[in-house]
Amino acid sequence: MMQQANNVSTLIRSLKVVCLSLIGALALSNVAWLYAYVKESTEHAERVYVATDNGTTSAIAAGQAQPTQYEARNLMRGFMDLMFQHDANTFRERVNHGMKLIDHNDGRAIYETFKRGQVLENYHRYNSHTNWSCDSVQVDMSVEPYKGIIWGAQEVVYDNQIAVQPVAARFTLSRQIRSDINPYGLLIDGFTFIEYRRPAPGGSKPQ
């Protein structure tokens, strides 16, 4: 009888150990499942989708496409147009849009030059506006990050007069995920103004 009681006690202890082990394993399994679920949900929430001729696909897949020379040059032309062509009514909107295409620090440096030059104040004061024209843009895409130079001029128009200011800059381009904000999947950084002696009308422009 005593032996049977000991056997029962041993069995109960064994069952407790098994149950505790199962509970622990189940808890770990639930933690692992929860982690995988949260990770997948987060990635899904952060995923950007784009519409293409072949249907809707994730921006991650679309962003893997190699940017072309056409896209790189168009990005720079569009960026310079946004940052250097505006008036009192469009200044903030265009500059804010342009700032999304460039590294924050580089974009902030350009904006600070506008503040020091009182660009917006002068637009209001003189009822003036600016135009941008691109002379040329070159991008070396043989290695990453891509490197390039853009040349052009900003025209300041006020009181029926036009003042032309040559503008040129070196830059690098880093690949990013394509999105509605940045359809070319390239981020401008290393943006540095350089000296540019613009040729006279009819003269040869940078190639």
Question: What would the mean pLDDT of 4-25 be, rounded to a whole number?
Answer: 40
Say if residue 206's pLDDT is above 80: no
Residues 73, 131: Cα–Cα separation, whole Å: 19
DSSP-assigned letters across all residues of 59-80 = HHHHTTSPPPHHHHHHHHHHHH
pLDDT at 202: 62
Residues 184, 189: Cα–Cα separation, whole Å: 15
Mean pLDDT rounded to a whole number for the chain: 79
Residues 125, 15: Cα–Cα separation, whole Å: 87
Name the least confident of 11-15, 73-77, 121-125.
11-15
Mind listing the pLDDT tens digit for each residue in 145-159?
999 999 999 999 998
Taking the whole predicted model, whether its pTM rises above 0.75 is answered as: no
Residue 141 contacts residue 67 (beta carbons within 8 Å): yes
In this structure, whether the domain defined by 66-194 belongs to CATH 3.40.50.2000 is answered with no
Question: Where exactly are the structural domains of the chain?
Answer: 1-46, 66-194
